[in-house]
Structure 1
Amino acid sequence: MTAPESFQPSRRTLLRGAAASGVLLGGIALPTTAAYGAPAPRCYTRSEWSARPPKSATSVTAKPDHIVIHHTASPNVTDYSLAAAYKVSHWIQDLHMDTNGWIDAGQQLTISRGGYLMEGRSKSLSSINNGQNVLGAQTANHNSHTIGIEHEGIYVNANVPVKLFDMSVLTCAWLCTKYGLDPHVAIVGHRDYNATQCPGDVFYARLPELRDRVAAVL
């Protein structure tokens, strides 16, 4: 949303104000007023990480009303490279298609431990950009109205990597902007819907912080 002509602050003014309010991500100061919607973070597409095609067509649905935070429950690797992000995307897709028997990766988005954002289920990125969603398989009985973000790792006891958490903030802010959602209402943990430890006690305890930081970005 563009500010009225009577109030068009300079970039320097915006950055100074953001820095003063403490909203800094990766050293970048971001405006905190809701008049400035969050931009899309860099998202690596399925073609970039060479995803397998889905077994059948993906259904495009209306915009979601909740963003579900997951962890992959995979090892907390120390390889934070883009190559490692590609690797975990392949692992998730293979698990979901070959073991679970789903048509594709269940989640719409994945964030690696190195903070790389990856497209998950087919057509997820284009649907988000169009204000829509794809029907996933990430939250049983609630897939029709939710969008899911897998976060690489297991956070039952371990801390969440800074780059992963920062990218989660940016990603949730982008989704809240695209879908017109209130982060304090929309951002939930997988365990809020299903009987699971996901996204782990440590990550779940940080969801209030995640909501607050997303709201600050917006």
Structure 2
Amino acid sequence: MTAPGNIQRARVSRRALLGATAGGVLLGGALLPQAAQAAPAPRCYTRTEWSARPPTSATQVIGKPDHIVIHHTASANVTDYSLAAAYKVQHWIQDLHMDTNGWIDIGNQLTISRGGFLMEGRSKSLSAINNGQNVLGAQTANNNSHTIGIEHEGLYTSVNPTVALFDMSVLTCAWLCTKYNLDPHAAIVGHRDYVSTTVCPGDVFYSRLPELRNRVADVMLG
């Protein structure tokens, strides 16, 4: 597990690198022109499409994040990989967050199902991302003002995520890193990196974060 101090040092290091490379970004030591980072937006199913409940109060649009936080839902590892199943888990998450946790809406900005479907989470998340902004979520305690969270359906303490889920996570993180001009090696972290009392996103998924970062960098390199 990365200590909070290490996250801060990574953040400072990344900012220093990006600040020193106008017109490009450093990925693994390679300076790339902006055009080389054009990772396309994956298909994202909107709140209208999955029939989200409206938030109970206004969603706050904030500035761009400096970290992408990887979560797992710790729910059953279902074998129904359909879009209908993706919508079902999204409703379950929203109901849990609003009715049990008492939050204004679903806490995370994005969700990926075990079938590899990407869905909009908190209200206004998709429009904010497309405009280089973020919405204030409720997905990483004490760090919501500068992070964006991706929920991954399933429990990954002892098993691997599905190929479809992991592949979509790669594409989603590459899109976000492009939108926010982030270095994936510094920006992509696990929930446990910020909250020491959680095992999220599970030991197996967490052990694959270096692979996730490398694959995201590969996508951004084209």
TM-score, normalised relative to structure 2:
0.83
Structure 2 residue aligned with 1:198: 200
Q: How does 1:106-125 map to 2 (within 5 A)?
A: 106-125=107-126
Structure 2 residue aligned with 1:21: none
1:74 & 1:158 partners in 2: Cα distance?
13
Q: How does 1:1-218 map to 2 (within 5 A)?
A: 35-194=36-195, 195-218=197-220
Structure 1 residue aligned with 2:8: none
Q: Which has the larger radius of gyration?
A: 1
Shift of 1:36: 4.1
Unaligned runs of 5+ in 1: 1-32
Letter in 1 for 2:99: D
SS at structure 2 position matched to 1:144: coil
TM-score, normalised relative to structure 1:
0.84
1:64 & 1:58 partners in 2: Cα distance?
16
SS at structure 1 position matched to 2:80: coil
Letter in 2 for 1:62: G
Spell out structure 1 runs of 4+ moving beyond 2 A: none
Unaligned runs of 5+ in 2: 1-33
How many residue pairs align between the two structures? Answer: 186
2:122 & 2:96 partners in 1: Cα distance?
13
- CA root-mean-square deviation: 1.0
Q: Is the 8 A contact 2:37 2:178 kept in 1?
A: no
Q: Check 1:192–1:36 CA distance in 2 against 1; reply closer, same or farther (3 A cut).
A: closer
1:114-170 CA-to-partner distances (Å, cap 9, x unmatched) read 000000000000000000000000000000000000000000001110000000000
1:134 & 1:164 partners in 2: Cα distance?
23
SS at structure 2 position matched to 1:67: strand
2:190 & 2:154 partners in 1: Cα distance?
15
Letter in 2 for 1:70: H
Letter in 1 for 2:207: A
Shift of 1:37: 1.2
Letter in 2 for 1:198: C
